[in-house]
Chain A
């Protein structure tokens, strides 16, 4: 029973490029959460999605960031025109139900040069 999968594990982008981070939830899970962890800090909530719907995006920066969770395929967190301040670890979690226990993936470490 595979856990939450994220790829790539490490991503290097130059300033101004786009970053796409992928998250495949656990089998049977239809709820996905994205969190960002800046160096030496705790995780900060970004967005909560259920298949094809954004439920809560209260933690998403207003510009350059978007997320989707299509009917088929993984959830994607997209960062356009990356800046150095976007360098962080991005974690995805999934749950089976609304307010269910969240299981975390291993994270994607984004480095912007």
Chain B
């Protein structure tokens, strides 16, 4: 069963920031928050991960609340190519076989 909760779908206007929320209220102290995305008929693509500090890379920013029970993935300037299913996963980085991909959030970027 999924340990995270995400909205089923979201829309975002092209050029605007896309903010994708995720609840992970049962996350444990050694579990990271990972975000992946899957464009139709392709393999999932790693986006970003974090433990407790906010993180930023060339693709996105990750904001984790102080109690670590929720996080937000931010795509600062969404493009049509960002249309995909986004998965939020909490997992222990030091155990293999620990990523559970639920149904994610289907983000549609609208022209």
Q: Do A and B come from one complex?
A: no
